[in-house]
Amino acid sequence: MKLHDLTPNPGSTKKRHRVGRGIAGKGGKTAGRGTKGQKARDTIPAGFEGGQLPLMQRLPKLKGFTNPFRVEYTPVNLDALDGLGLDTVDPEALIANGLLRKGGLVKILGRGTVSKAITVKAHAWSASAEAAITAAGGTLEKVDMPFDVRPPAKGNAHTNR
């Protein structure tokens, strides 16, 4: 037996039903597509969304991706905290001293040193900043985020404040 001798079993295959070959048989004239309308006519391009701007055109070409739910912190270093001369540093004190914008999130970073024990209330801090503040006898307190689960998408300024 050779490869060209192989055939399917009798009755296992049927001829393809060729539609649109005249009005004599089943599948003539409209070829099972009904009457009129977009689907009755020729092919619709892949990705066509009925006139809405297609997804592939809505997405930016190249240049990477911008996460709309990114959490952005304003960095404040230890030397800036030490320069304030306050015993308790919280977001309101940073806003009053021009180190933070209203409604912003603050992250304490470890550049510089702390000369005295201070209480720092912030949204986040680095490990080196935590080590320096606790070594000076200070404490760190976490401030609640102004959103419940994740930050709002860019342009939607809704928070739970």
Instruction: Please report the domains of the chain, with CATH numbers, ordered by start residue.
Output: 76-142 (3.100.10.10)
More confident residue, 148 or 127: 127
State the amino acid at position 124 in one-letter form.
A
Confidence of residue 73 (pLDDT cuts 50, 70, 90): very high
Assessment of whether the complete model's pTM goes beyond 0.75: no
pLDDT, residue 161, reads 47
Helices (H), 6-77: 55-58
DSSP 104-124: -EEEEE-SS---S--EEEESE
pLDDT digits (tens, 9 = 90+) for 17-39: 888 888 887 888 888 888 888 88
When pLDDT is averaged across residues 85-91 and rounded to a whole number, the result is: 90
